[in-house]
């Protein structure tokens, strides 16, 4: 059986440490030194939301499971700890995988390519889960591309320049957004309130959403509940399974090609919570269309209030057995840990990877510049 230790790079973390230790003190983390204007309450709230969201990815990676893999206790590091990962002792028969996500590699700035290249030369594998299509939208993508072993991103094609920089052995998978929850972390609610929860976002009540809000309020009355100021705290997501239906508006970057087919993670984590997801259908194709065809979400055309009303009504009418089928599917197939564990199990690159060049990497670490910077200065 393969033995794998994962280390998650999280820009909200610091020195290299065990995942459980970081998670134990998560609620007490002082984010003020990490925020540009700590005196802005709105900015601090957004920082807390983002910090907690990325920490939930770590929580998932700290509990990875797969029948073909023994996962050792996970680690986490931020900018100040990324090079410390290369100084950990390497044990024969154990693979070390660095996991980066979203646009967080940009937190390393110009040092990203040097840092990840150093770790690669030590035999540390790198899985990058981009959610959207990072080769077109993330500044450091071309710098880190040569050092990737697994790349997961949405349905949009890679930019030619970025694709050309990937090593021949790099495996690329299309899997965009999923839920960053541990499978079945939220219990199934047998008898939720027969209500529609409208999930807000950073955009707040735009004119488009205000029309939706007003229409649904007229039609459904007190069966319609709205959150429209920003987003939901990660720690409060599980409590929302008291509602039967989740209306998931489009993502804030919905107009870009990268979001046109993938939306956000909301249909997935609400599905994992046992709610019936309702999502906008302003573009055809992609995973949401397949999920809709399978009866796992309800969709409505962009700007069509009658279609929105009908989709919400269909969602309210879903029976317990069908809702449980959806709950089982999302928890088994659409969580970040499940996707990552399966991707690692499906990768055979460890068999063909070159032997760790520890001497060469350490010599490079001693050079001046980003590669030779101390761990605390990256």
Over residues 96-115, the pLDDT tens digits come to 999 999 899 999 999 999 99
d(CA 82, CA 80): 6
CATH for 193-332 is 3.40.50.2000
> Domain boundaries in the chain?
2-178+335-364, 193-332
CATH for 2-178+335-364 is 3.40.50
Kindly give, in sequence order, each residue whose CB lies less than 8 Å from that of residue 217, ignoring residues fewer than 6 positions away. 224, 226
Residue 375 clears pLDDT 50, i.e. is over it = no
Over residues 144-160, the pLDDT tens digits come to 999 999 999 877 788 89
Over residues 158-179, the pLDDT tens digits come to 889 999 999 999 999 988 789 9
Mean of pLDDT over the chain: 85
Q: What pairing do the DSSP bridges indicate for beta strands 75-77 and 17-18?
A: antiparallel
- Expressed in percent and rounded to 5, the helix, strand and coil fractions of the chain are 45, 20, 35
pLDDT band of 202, cuts 50, 70, 90: low
Q: Where are the beta strands (DSSP E) in 73-155?
A: 75-77, 94-101, 125-129, 150-153
Average pLDDT over residues 51-60: 95
pLDDT of residue 263: 59
pLDDT of residue 12: 95
d(CA 284, CA 47): 33
Statement: the pTM of the whole predicted model exceeds 0.75: yes
d(CA 290, CA 293): 5
Residue 331 clears pLDDT 80, i.e. is over it = yes
Residue 294 clears pLDDT 50, i.e. is over it = yes
pLDDT band of 27, cuts 50, 70, 90: very high
Average pLDDT over residues 344-355: 62
């Amino acid at each position: 059986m393969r033995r794998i230790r994962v280390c998650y790079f999280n820009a909200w973390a610091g020195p290299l440490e065990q995942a459980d230790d970081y998670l134990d003190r998560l609620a007490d983390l002082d984010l003020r030194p990490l925020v540009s204007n700590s005196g802005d309450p709105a900015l601090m709230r957004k920082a807390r939301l983002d910090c907690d969201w990325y920490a939930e990815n770590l929580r998932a990676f700290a509990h990875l499971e797969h029948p073909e893999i023994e996962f050792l206790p996970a680690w986490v590091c931020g900018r100040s700890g990324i090079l410390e990962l290369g100084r950990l002792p390497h044990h024969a028969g154990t693979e070390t995988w660095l996991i980066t996500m979203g646009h967080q590699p940009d937190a390393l700035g110009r040092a990203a390519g040097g840092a990840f290249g150093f770790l690669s030369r030590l035999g540390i594998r790198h899985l990058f889960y981009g959610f959207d299509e990072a080769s077109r939208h993330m500044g450091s993508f071309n710098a880190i591309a040569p050092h990737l072993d697994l790349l997961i991103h949405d349905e949009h094609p890679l930019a030619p320049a970025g694709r050309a920089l990937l090593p021949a052995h790099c495996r690329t998978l299309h899997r965009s957004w999923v839920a960053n929850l541990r499978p079945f972390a939220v219990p199934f609610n047998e008898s939720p309130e027969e209500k529609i929860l409208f999930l807000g976002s950073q955009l707040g009540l735009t004119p488009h959403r205000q029309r939706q809000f007003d229409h649904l309020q007229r039609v459904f009355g007190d069966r319609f509940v709205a959150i429209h100021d920003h987003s939901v705290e990660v720690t409060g997501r599980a409590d929302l399974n008291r509602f039967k239906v989740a209306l998931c508006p489009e993502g804030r970057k919905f107009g870009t090609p990268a979001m046109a087919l993938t939306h956000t993670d909301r249909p997935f984590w609400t599905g994992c919570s046992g709610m019936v997801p309702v999502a906008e259908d302003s573009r055809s194709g992609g995973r949401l269309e397949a999920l809709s065809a399978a009866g796992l979400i309800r969709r409505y055309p962009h700007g069509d209030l009658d279609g929105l009303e009908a989709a919400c009504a269909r969602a309210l009418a879903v029976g317990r057995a069908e809702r449980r089928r959806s709950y089982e599917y999302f928890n088994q197939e659409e969580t970040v840990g499940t996707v990552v564990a399966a991707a690692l199990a499906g990768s055979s690159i460890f068999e063909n990877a070159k032997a760790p060049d520890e001497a060469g990497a350490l010599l490079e670490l001693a050079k001046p510049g980003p590669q030779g910077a101390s761990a605390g200065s990256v």
